[in-house]
Amino acid sequence: MDIFTALIITFIVLIVLFRKLKKVNSTKIKLLYIALVVIHSIAFGLNYYVNIDLKKDAYIFFTKALNANNITDFSFLGSQFMSVIVYPFAKLGFSFFSISLLFSTLSLYTFYKYLNYLQKKYNIDDSKSLIFILILFLMPSLHFWTAGLTKEALVFYLMSVVFFQTLKSKIISFQLVLSLIFILLIRPYLFGIVLLTYSIFVLRNQKVQKKNKIQLILLTLLAITLSLPVLKGFLKVDSLNIEGINKSFQHIIEYSQNNGASSINLENSTYFYRMFLVLFKPLFYDARTFFQYIISIENLILLIILFKFIVDVIKKKALKFIFKEQFFLSLTVILLILFFSTYLYNLGLASRMRVMFLPYLFLLMFNFYTKANKKKCDEEKSN
């Protein structure tokens, strides 16, 4: 089964890649597509080896699904929902390798979708544009966390569905609703943030008819009502009040103090320090493993680029562009960073959580610099 699955998926990937390369004239872009497949394949191998060797979350998802007598044995929430997704594949005889490869292919398809979008919308053959594309699409940690049977692989794809829905005139689709349901069952807090930002985005859109906005408001209220029991189950509290949320937070503090070699003390750390953790750590001074040193290089590059981005936005007085033309991307990134900064306690967890906002952040930066370059070219032509 493993060999058959690998051959079928490899054949499909190579056919899609070959057809794409025939359509692209730029050698740089061709190399980018090839590098994308190569790096993702290497990341899949590493992800698979780590999970097999250390029996990480992905392997646990699989073994629980394989050993379950019935799909109703699971709670359909969080990590157990991943076992629910895996369950039919495991019972059909698919191995951990085959299922991991399927998830890895889904995330590779997501990278491909993002790259296609940028390639079609913009001219990404110039060096300034390419550096942003390269950092986004060839970032090793982004591939590692999504190249296997992980929540990140699925969330990475689901977040892309939501983004591409914002580009369409139709505000609600079956694919969007299904994606939001999956996000709710995997990470309820992410569902709340995405639902909020998407709803505000649509309500601010003057092209959307009033009746459609009213329908969206009603559907949003219904979704919030139906999601409350899920959130209670996720937080493991009896009621969603301050006491219940505080109890859940105290549990996170206790867990962070007793688990993980790279944990920080939530009680003794400031909110801004945790925000720095979410965005840029580990850096070289607190890296302990080879993988953390690799991530440190990424984080240093991200620190430099984000600092330059903020300076350029201020210099060009482009806050209106950021919060008007790129409202959905901006608000989603900001809210996710602010939320993660309340509870993230671990360097590895911080690296994984970035999967949820880094693609949006890089799209935001790329859109900003593309427009800035276009404006500069137009001014030069007029002069």
Tokens 């698979």 correspond to 48
Enclosing H/E stretch for 298? helix 290-315
152: closest CA among 227, 77, 58?
A: 58
Per the CB < 8 A criterion, the answer to whether 101 and 44 are in contact is yes
Phi first, then psi: what are they for 266, rounded to 5°? -65, -35
Query: Across residues 94-119, what is the average pLDDT?
Result: 93
Q: CB-side exposure of 139: number of CA atoms within 13 Å?
A: 26
Residue 346: beta bridge partners? 263
104: closest CA among 1, 9, 187?
A: 9
| Domain-wise residue ranges, the chain | 1-151, 264-383
CA distance linking residue 159 with residue 359, whole number of Å: 9
Cα distance from N-terminal residue to C-terminal residue, the chain: 65
CA dist 268 to 236, 265, 307, 362, Å? Answer: 25, 5, 27, 32
Other Cβ atoms within 10 Å of 139 Cβ, number = 22
Query: Across residues 269-273, what is the average pLDDT?
Result: 85
The pLDDT of residue 241 is: 61
Max CA distance (Å), the chain: 74
Residue 184 clears pLDDT 90, i.e. is over it: yes
The identity of residue 337, as a single letter, is I
**Omega prior to 140 cis, within 30 of 0:** no
Q: Is 93 left (phi over 0), alpha (psi -120 to 50) or beta?
A: left
User: Using 50, 70 and 90 to split pLDDT, how confident is the model at 177?
Assistant: very high
Q: Which tokens belong to 354?
A: 């970035």
Residue 231 clears pLDDT 90, i.e. is over it: no
The pLDDT of residue 86 is: 95
No. of H helices and E strands in the chain? 18, 0
Tokens 């549990």 correspond to 251
Tokens 């989603």 correspond to 332
Residue 363: beta bridge partners? none
Other Cβ atoms within 10 Å of 285 Cβ, number = 7
Tokens 């602010």 correspond to 338
Q: pLDDT exceeding 70 applies to what percent of the chain? A: 85
CA distance linking residue 109 with residue 173, whole number of Å: 20
User: What's the per-residue H, E or C state across 262-281?
Assistant: CECCCCCCCHHHHHHHHHHC
pLDDT of 70-97, one tens digit each?
998 888 888 899 999 999 999 999 999 9
CA distance linking residue 303 with residue 194, whole number of Å: 25
Residue 126 clears pLDDT 80, i.e. is over it: no
pLDDT of 7-26, one tens digit each?
899 999 999 999 999 988 88
Per the CB < 8 A criterion, the answer to whether 263 and 345 are in contact is yes
Per the CB < 8 A criterion, the answer to whether 267 and 281 are in contact is no
